Chains A and B, each alone.
Chain A
Amino acid sequence: MVAHALAEAVTYPAVGASLDVERISHAFDIDGNVLPVLDDVNFSVKPGEFIALLGPSGCGKSTLLRLVAGLEAPRSGVLREDGDPVTGPFPSRVVVFQDPTLFPWRTVWNNVALGLEAQGILKTQRQRVDAALELVGLSQFRNAYPHQLSGGMAQRVALARALVNDPKILILDEPLGKLDSLTRITMQAEIVALWQRKGFTTLLVTHDVEEALFLANRVIVFSDRPARIKADIAVDRPYPRHRGDPRLAELRRNILGLLGLDATW
Chain B
Amino acid sequence: MSTYSVSKAVALAQSAEEGAALVGRPPSLSFSFPAGGTGVFASLAWIGFGISCLWWPDIGDWTRTHQLAAAAFVIAGAIFLATVAGSRLGRFNAGLQKRAPWLLVSALFLTLWEVATAKFAWLPLPFFPPPQSIIEVYTDDLPKLLDSIFASVKLQLGGYVIGAAVGFLTGVSIGWSRSVGYWVHPVLRFIGPLPATAWLPIAFFTFPSSWSASTFLIALATGFPVTVLTWSGVASVSNAYYDVARTLGAKPSFLVLKVAIPAALPHVFVGLFMGLGSSFAVLVVAEMIGVKAGLGWYLQWAQGWAAYANMYAALIVMSLLCSGAITLLFRTRDRLLIWQKGVVKW
- List residues of chain A with CB under 8 Å of any chain B CB: 62, 66, 69-71, 89-91, 93-95, 97, 99, 101, 103-106, 114-115, 117-119, 145, 147-148, 161, 165
Contact = CB atoms under 8 A, between A and B. Distances in A.
A69 B262 CA distance: 25
Nearest to B342: A147
Interface of B: 1, 3, 6, 238, 240-241, 243-251, 254, 258-259, 262-263, 265, 337, 339-340, 342-343
Contacts, number: 74
A161 B249 CA distance: 12
A117 B258 contact: yes
B240 A90 contact: no
Contacts of A103: 241, 244, 259, 262-263
Name which of A103, A119, A161 has the most chain B CB atoms within 10 A of its CB. A103
B249 A105 contact: no
Contacts of B238: 101
B262 A105 contact: yes
Contacts of B245: 114, 118
Contact of A89 (B247, B337, B339, B343): B247
Contacts of B6: 99
A89 B240 contact: no
Contacts of B244: 95, 97, 101, 103, 114, 161
A145 B254 CA distance: 21
A135 to B, nearest CB: 17
A118 B1 CA distance: 25
A97 B243 contact: yes
Contacts of B254: 117-118
A104 B343 contact: yes
Contact of A105 (B3, B251, B265): B265
A161 B240 CA distance: 15
B241 A114 contact: no
A163 B110 CA distance: 67
29 contacts: A62-B1, A69-B247, A71-B243, A89-B246, A89-B247, A91-B248, A95-B247, A97-B244, A99-B3, A99-B240, A101-B238, A101-B240, A101-B241, A101-B243, A103-B241, A103-B244, A103-B259, A105-B265, A106-B262, A114-B244, A114-B250, A115-B249, A118-B249, A119-B248, A119-B249, A147-B343, A148-B342, A165-B248, A165-B249
B250 A118 contact: yes
A94 B240 CA distance: 14
Nearest to A92: B249
Contact of A104 (B246, B247, B258, B339): B339
Contacts of A165: 248-249
Nearest to B1: A62
Contact of A161 (B1, B246, B248): B248
Given A103-B259, A118-B248, 19 more contacts: A66-B243, A69-B243, A69-B247, A71-B247, A89-B247, A95-B244, A97-B240, A101-B238, A101-B240, A104-B340, A104-B343, A105-B263, A115-B248, A117-B258, A118-B245, A118-B254, A118-B258, A147-B342, A165-B249
